[in-house]
């Protein structure tokens, strides 16, 4: 049964009243019936408070990390910050050097918007000179305070000699504990986790004083995080806040962090906040978004088409356009891996593109012997882009950009026309290929090579039709029926028969207006093609499953081509897209870049009648 207070609130809800609830009032209008919240009792209490704990900054410190921690603590706004020592490199008797190191450190903590409580480590007090400097600067090396009925004990694990608690220190804390018998929790902070040392270096005496108390212990020194359970209490060894570390991650306990402690009625609740996961509102600015969008959309690295006068490729130049839309420099490395006997004369090319500018980089390509253009299709260039944005670690992104190898293609005449039924036995050799696609989209990362999805094709014509045959290699067959035809594996024929320059310069924005689109899903034939009502009269297509993939065949009426060119047709522009559906996603493989995309180039895939 809900308490009386809650019942009173429920009665108010009936009248759509504006009510206040909880110790920290929420003013809200409550409607009769359901309301979009779970409760009006905030999880708060006058006894709750939050503080943070930082750990080892030194012992092979990495510049900038602790300072970053200070900035992020100011974002979090704890009520105060505790430490567990190793704040300077120390281990020196040179008072000038020690003064410089302490001045540097206090300069960091002076930036905090809340109190900072010092605890010494072995780097801070390793000899009598350092002990004297500590006393001159900070006074006591061990002390205590009480906040909201929680007792904080700040120990010195280097109470000379090192790695011990002196009898005087233990006596101090004995009296402290006696004087504070009714606190709701006791928290101890020290540098070295003395409970892990043989003989316990005075720890056993101190720990005996905590017996029967609700308590938690925080230590550092080891640079790797471990939680222990001792005496029904949590003992925590923190990792680093800039100290030496391989940073291999949580499994190794190696990370830079602060501990966020929320003191509740049931005891402290700890949250490890890794510094790399704490950001202000500038985690991604418009500048960063614009730069990264250009990279992700493929506008940063574009390869111009390689046009050859000969049907054979012996040597060529891949010309890359590098566009930097960011306000910081963009470093680009380009490499063309050897494929089909083609390799780049230089292993790689590097360029630093100034902010908001465009540069060009050329890679000369060579082949030991002439290769038919149809066997190449496109040359894949790998790229890596690096940015260094303010406040971020260096960003590195890799990808590839295919350089299409293109020219004018001829359309041979057919003496005996095919039937456009998906049976390619009457075609002979299919000489045009797309082993290396000009473009891959959808789940592009799922494309693993020519055995995954690639295709050969051929074209021909007679007085009645223009014909296309496509043979697809597909290593993972999917069902041909029982699902929407647009989601099945398919071959799409894109055909632009307009007169030049509209044909060559067109961007293909609107299918059936700018160009003809015929989609042939596997298992389909002329009568059940998608968009059948939008296709010109006489268009035929069929696509059938084969042991190694699928074969598709198209016939486009000459009457349609003649009408589009306002006279006997002589040339057209063509593209082929294969949709490959595998278990890990759908991939779309293009022979030439998509006409409506950023990598489209003028006149790609132009065919002329012989």
Name the token pair of 241: 């806040």
Q: For position 532, which CATH number holds?
A: 2.60.40.1190
Mean pLDDT of 243-263: 94
Q: Which DSSP symbol is given to 422? A: S
Give per-residue pLDDT as tens, 382-401.
Answer: 899 999 988 777 888 888 87
* pLDDT in the model for residue 44: 83
Same domain, yes or no, for 434 and 564? yes
SS3 assignment, position 229 = strand
- Asked if pLDDT for residue 222 goes beyond 80, the answer is yes
* pLDDT in the model for residue 479: 67
Q: Which DSSP symbol is given to 93? A: -
Give per-residue pLDDT as tens, 466-521.
Answer: 999 999 999 887 766 555 555 789 999 999 999 999 998 887 778 888 899 999 99
* pLDDT in the model for residue 366: 83
Same domain, yes or no, for 521 and 567? yes
| Residue 193, CA distances (Å) to 217, 245, 319, 361 in order | 9, 18, 61, 57
SS3 assignment, position 318 = strand
Ranges 89-98, 338-347, 388-397: which has the least confidence: 338-347
Is residue 44 a part of any domain in this protein? no
Is residue 297 a part of any domain in this protein? yes
Which of these, 110, 138, 115, lies nearest to 125 by C-alpha position? 138
Is 336 in contact with 379 (CB distance < 8 Å)?
A: yes
* pLDDT in the model for residue 111: 97
* pLDDT in the model for residue 5: 38
* pLDDT in the model for residue 341: 67
Structural domain that includes position 15: 1-36
SS3 assignment, position 118 = coil
More confident residue, 401 or 416: 416
Q: From CA 214, how far away is CA 177, in angstroms rounded?
A: 12
The H-or-E segment that residue 504 falls in is helix 502-505
Same domain, yes or no, for 60 and 179? yes
* pLDDT in the model for residue 331: 95
CA atoms within 13 A on the CB side of 511: 15
Q: What is the mean pLDDT of the chain?
A: 88
Residues 6+ apart with CB under 8 A from 8: none
What band does 8 get if pLDDT is binned at 50, 70 and 90?
Answer: very low
Ranges 75-89, 296-310, 432-446, 487-501: which has the least confidence: 432-446
Last residue of a domain, one of 376, 405, 434: 405
Q: How would you classify the pairing of strands 453-461 and 432-433?
A: antiparallel
Same domain, yes or no, for 122 and 259? yes
Q: From CA 558, how far away is CA 461, in angstroms rounded?
A: 9
Is residue 41 a part of any domain in this protein? no
Name the token pair of 498: 């307009």
Q: What is the residue-wise DSSP string for 34-78? A: --S-S-S--S--TT-EEEEEE-B--SS--TTHHHHHHHHHHHH--
Same domain, yes or no, for 267 and 322? no
Q: For position 325, which CATH number holds?
A: 2.60.40
Same domain, yes or no, for 328 and 341? yes
Which of these, 108, 64, 53, 58, lies nearest to 244 by C-alpha position? 58
* pLDDT in the model for residue 45: 85
Give per-residue pLDDT as tens, 367-385.
Answer: 878 777 666 666 778 899 9
Instruction: Locate all alpha helices (DSSP H) within 145-193, ordered by sequence.
Output: 167-179
Is residue 43 a part of any domain in this protein? no
Is residue 184 a part of any domain in this protein? yes
Is 299 in contact with 330 (CB distance < 8 Å)?
A: no
Same domain, yes or no, for 360 and 468? no
To 10 degrees, the CA torsion angle through 310, 315, 316, 317?
-170
> Phi then psi for 441, rounded to 5 degrees?
-135, -170
* The total number of structural domains that make up the chain: 4
Q: Which DSSP symbol is given to 359? A: E
Same domain, yes or no, for 120 and 178? yes
* pLDDT in the model for residue 278: 87
Last residue of a domain, one of 261, 278, 295: 278
Give per-residue pLDDT as tens, 114-138.
Answer: 999 999 999 999 999 999 999 999 9
Q: How would you classify the pairing of strands 465-474 and 395-406?
A: unpaired
Last residue of a domain, one of 352, 385, 405: 405
Q: For position 162, which CATH number holds?
A: 3.60.21.10
Q: Which DSSP symbol is given to 169? A: H
Ranges 109-123, 191-205, 220-234, 423-437: which has the least confidence: 423-437
Is residue 578 a part of any domain in this protein? yes
Same domain, yes or no, for 296 and 232? no
Give per-residue pLDDT as tens, 269-296.
Answer: 999 999 989 887 888 888 888 888 888 8
Is residue 249 a part of any domain in this protein? yes
Give per-residue pLDDT as tens, 523-547.
Answer: 999 999 999 999 999 999 999 999 9
Exposed/middle/buried for residue 211 (C-beta within 10 Å: 0-12, 13-18, 19+): exposed
What percent of the chain lies above the pLDDT cut of 90? 58
| Residue 472, CA distances (Å) to 339, 451, 469, 487 in order | 21, 10, 10, 17
Same domain, yes or no, for 63 and 191? yes
Same domain, yes or no, for 401 and 413? no
Mean pLDDT of 239-268: 94
CA atoms within 13 A on the CB side of 7: 4
Same domain, yes or no, for 440 and 335? no
Ranges 41-45, 123-127, 251-255, 259-263: which has the least confidence: 41-45
Is residue 317 a part of any domain in this protein? yes
- Asked if pLDDT for residue 609 goes beyond 80, the answer is yes
């Amino acid at each position: 049964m809900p308490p009386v207070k809650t019942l009173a609130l429920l009665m108010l809800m009936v009248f759509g009243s504006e009510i206040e609830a909880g110790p920290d009032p929420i003013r809200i209008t409550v409607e009769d019936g359901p309301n979009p919240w779970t409760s009006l009792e905030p999880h708060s209490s006058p006894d709750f408070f939050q503080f943070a704990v930082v750990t080892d900054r030194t012992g092979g410190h990495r510049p900038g990390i602790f300072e970053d921690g200070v900035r992020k603590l100011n974002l979090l706004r704890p009520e105060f910050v505790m430490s567990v020592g190793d704040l300077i490199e120390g281990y020196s008797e040179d008072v000038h050097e020690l003064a410089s190191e302490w001045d540097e450190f206090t300069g960091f903590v002076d930036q905090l918007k809340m109190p900072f409580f010092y605890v010494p480590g072995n780097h801070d007090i390793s000899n009598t000179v350092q002990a004297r400097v500590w006393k001159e600067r900070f006074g006591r090396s061990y002390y205590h305070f009480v906040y909201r009925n929680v007792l904080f004990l700040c120990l010195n694990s280097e109470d000379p000699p090192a790695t011990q608690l002196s009898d005087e220190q233990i006596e101090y804390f004995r009296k402290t504990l006696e004087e504070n018998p009714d606190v709701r929790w006791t928290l101890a902070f020290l540098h070295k986790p003395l409970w892990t040392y043989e003989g316990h270096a005075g720890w056993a005496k101190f720990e005996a004083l905590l017996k029967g108390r609700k308590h938690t212990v925080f230590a550092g020194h080891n640079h790797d995080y471990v939680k222990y359970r001792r005496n029904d209490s949590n003992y925590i060894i923190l990792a680093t806040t800039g100290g030496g570390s391989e940073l291999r991650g949580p499994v190794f306990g190696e990370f830079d962090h602060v501990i966020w402690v929320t003191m509740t009625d049931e005891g402290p609740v700890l949250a490890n906040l890794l510094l790399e996961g704490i950001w202000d509102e500038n985690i991604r600015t418009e500048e960063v978004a614009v730069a990264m969008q250009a990279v992700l959309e493929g506008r940063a690295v574009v390869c111009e088409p390689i046009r050859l006068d000969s049907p054979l490729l012996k040597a060529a130049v891949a010309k890359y356009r590098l566009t930097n839309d960011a306000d910081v420099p963009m470093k680009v490395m380009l490499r063309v891996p050897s494929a089909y006997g083609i390799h780049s004369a230089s292993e790689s090319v590097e360029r630093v593109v100034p902010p908001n500018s465009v540069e060009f980089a050329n890679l000369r390509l060579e082949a030991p012997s002439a290769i038919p253009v149809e066997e190449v299709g496109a040359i894949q260039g790998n790229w890596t882009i690096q940015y260094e944005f303010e406040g971020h670690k260096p960003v590195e992104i890799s990808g590839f950009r295919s350089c299409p190898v293109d020219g004018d293609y001829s359309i041979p005449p057919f003496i005996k026309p095919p039937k456009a039924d998906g049976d390619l036995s009457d075609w002979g050799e299919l000489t045009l290929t797309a082993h290396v696609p000009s473009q891959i989209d959808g789940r592009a990362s799922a494309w693993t090579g020519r055995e995954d999805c690639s295709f050969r094709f051929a074209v021909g014509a007679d007085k009645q039709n223009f014909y296309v045959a496509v043979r697809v290699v597909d290593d993972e067959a999917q069902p041909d029926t029982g699902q929407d035809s647009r989601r099945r594996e398919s071959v799409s024929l894109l055909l632009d028969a307009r007169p030049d320059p509209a044909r060559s310069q067109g961007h293909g924005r609107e299918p059936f207006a700018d160009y003809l689109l015929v989609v042939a899903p596997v298992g389909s034939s002329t009568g059940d093609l998608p968009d059948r009502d939008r296709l010109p009269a006489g268009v035929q297509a069929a696509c059938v499953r084969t042991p190694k993939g699928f074969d598709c065949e198209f016939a486009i009426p000459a009457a349609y081509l003649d009408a589009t060119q306002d006279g006997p047709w002589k040339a057209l522009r063509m593209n082929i897209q294969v949709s490959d559906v595998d278990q890990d996603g759908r991939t779309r493989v293009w022979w030439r870049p998509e006409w409506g995309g950023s990598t489209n180039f003028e006149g790609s895939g132009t065919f002329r009648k012989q």
